[in-house]
């Protein structure tokens, strides 16, 4: 018995090429029929008819009468435009509510795309469509949003993490203070509230004003204080003010403080000694030299502050109200590391004193 082989014809060379279009133009000028052109190019006459419709243009004769002719250049340009527009439709589609929400959060509230998408999931907001962080970045790159552009992004991630190398050097200007090596594991592991990191953000040249930044290790909550100068006395004044505000609870809220070996911090006694009882109010630890990663949360907070107060700015020109507004923004910003909760939420959830 003979078997009939039913095979699918190859789709190779299925589409008309630019060269095919110039052949069509020449053959049409020679008054060749569409059927004959199709046979010559090994295409169906229907394909030829559609191609001629696409590439036909209106021309004027010398006597100003009109004529219609097929133009290979026009046909090929339209073909290229069509294939450029091919592809799946935008996921955000006609969900203008989601697009407006994303634009408002990034442009006006300085959220990152990841923070916006993460917060939507965390709070259970429902929109017509669901998109991921990478899609938001892609849409911004392609100019899909009406107002949102790359210039509105505070930081564009590269995906590469900086490599840190532990330094075992001793701080020559601070050989007697308590090293971070003595810090217990429960503090290192961020198991409980009450352990802070501390650093200063300084003004540009010509101004002595600075900010004292305290970052709680577990919740990433921040306290920011304006100081007239980056000195031991001004740091002590801020801590004394906090102790007077919280009184006996100060020891519970500020169980330990980790800082670098800057000249404003090296007086361990001044930091640890209570202004009320003259006894020990907290435990100070000092990071290794050139090891900012040992106070990573604090360094990240400083970087966020620089979004609002750029390097070189005169901090003395920023009002206390503005400093507190920055503090509020940071503490109410959703963090990926906190599963898109805010520092304020985590601090309160874990039973802050």
Residue ranges of domains in the chain, CATH in brackets: 18-84 (1.10.10), 96-152 (no CATH), 180-349 (3.30.420.10)
| pLDDT score of 64 | 83
| pLDDT score of 318 | 96
Share of the chain above pLDDT 90, in %: 64
Query: Angle formed by the axes of helices 72-84 and 45-55, to 10°?
Result: 100
For residue 71, give every residue at least 6 positions away whose Cβ sits within 8 Å of its Cβ, in sequence order, or none: 25, 55, 56, 57
The DSSP letter of residue 105 is I
Determine if the pTM surpasses 0.75. no
Give the model confidence (pLDDT) of 203-220 as tens digits.
998 899 999 999 999 999
The DSSP letter of residue 224 is E
| pLDDT score of 294 | 94
| pLDDT score of 60 | 86
Question: Please, are residues 315 and 302 in contact by the beta-carbon 8 Å criterion?
Answer: no
Average pLDDT over residues 331-342: 95
The tokens 């709070």 sit on which residue? Answer: 123
| pLDDT score of 67 | 87
For residue 222, with 0-12 CB atoms within 10 Å meaning exposed, 13-18 middle and 19 or more buried, which class applies?
buried
C-alpha 216: how far from chain center: 23
**Cα–Cα dist 116/114, whole Å:** 5
Average pLDDT over residues 252-262: 96
| pLDDT score of 160 | 58
Where do the H-state alpha helices sit in the chain? 18-29, 34-41, 45-55, 72-84, 96-103, 113-123, 133-142, 185-188, 232-246, 250-253, 268-272, 296-308, 320-331, 343-349
The tokens 């990573």 sit on which residue? Answer: 296
Q: How many CA atoms lie within 13 A of 134 on its CB side?
A: 2
Average pLDDT over residues 6-18: 61
C-alpha 221: how far from chain center: 20
Band (58; pLDDT cuts 50, 70, 90): confident
User: Does 232 or 142 have the greater pLDDT score?
Assistant: 232
Position 87 pLDDT exceeds 70: no
| pLDDT score of 76 | 86
For residue 349, CA distances in Å to 126, 165, 191, 192, 335 come to: 25, 34, 14, 12, 15
The DSSP letter of residue 178 is P
The tokens 């020679």 sit on which residue? Answer: 30
Give the model confidence (pLDDT) of 185-201 as tens digits.
999 999 999 999 999 99
Output the CA torsion 126→127→133→136 (10° steps): -160
| Token pair in block for residue 331 | 């503490």
């Amino acid at each position: 018995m003979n078997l009939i082989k039913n095979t699918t014809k190859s789709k190779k060379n299925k589409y008309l090429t630019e060269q095919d279009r110039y052949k069509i133009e020449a053959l049409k000028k020679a008054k060749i029929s569409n059927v004959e052109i199709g046979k010559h190019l090994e295409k169906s006459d229907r394909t030829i008819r559609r191609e001629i419709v696409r590439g036909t243009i209106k021309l004027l004769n010398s006597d100003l009468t009109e004529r219609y002719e097929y133009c290979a250049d026009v046909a090929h340009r339209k073909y290229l435009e069509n294939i450029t527009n091919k592809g799946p439709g935008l996921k955000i589609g006609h969900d203008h509510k989601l697009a407006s929400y994303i634009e408002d959060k990034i442009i006006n509230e300085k959220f990152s795309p990841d923070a916006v998408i993460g917060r939507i999931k965390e709070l259970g907001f429902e929109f017509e469509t669901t998109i991921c962080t990478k899609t938001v970045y892609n849409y911004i790159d392609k100019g899909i949003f009406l107002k949102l552009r790359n210039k509105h992004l505070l930081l564009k991630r590269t995906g590469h993490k900086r490599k840190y190398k532990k330094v075992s050097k001793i701080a020559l200007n601070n050989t007697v203070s308590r090293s971070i090596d003595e810090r217990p594991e429960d503090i290192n592991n961020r198991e409980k509230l009450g352990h802070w990191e501390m650093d200063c953000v300084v003004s540009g040249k010509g101004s002595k004003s600075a900010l004292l930044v305290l970052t709680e290790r577990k919740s990433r909550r921040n306290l920011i204080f304006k100081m007239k100068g980056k000195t031991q006395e001004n740091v002590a004044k801020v801590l004394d003010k906090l102790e007077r505000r919280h009184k006996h609870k100060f020891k519970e809220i500020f169980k330990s403080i980790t800082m670098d070996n800057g000249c404003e911090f090296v007086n361990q006694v001044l930091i640890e000694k209570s202004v009320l009882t003259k006894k020990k109010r907290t435990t100070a630890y000092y990071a290794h030299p050139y090891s900012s990663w040992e106070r990573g949360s604090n360094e990240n907070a400083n970087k966020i502050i620089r979004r609002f107060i750029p390097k070189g700015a005169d901090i003395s020109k920023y009002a206390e109200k503005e400093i507190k507004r920055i503090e509020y923004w940071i503490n109410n910003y959703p963090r990926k590391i906190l599963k898109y909760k805010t520092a304020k939420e985590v601090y309160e959830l874990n039973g802050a004193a």
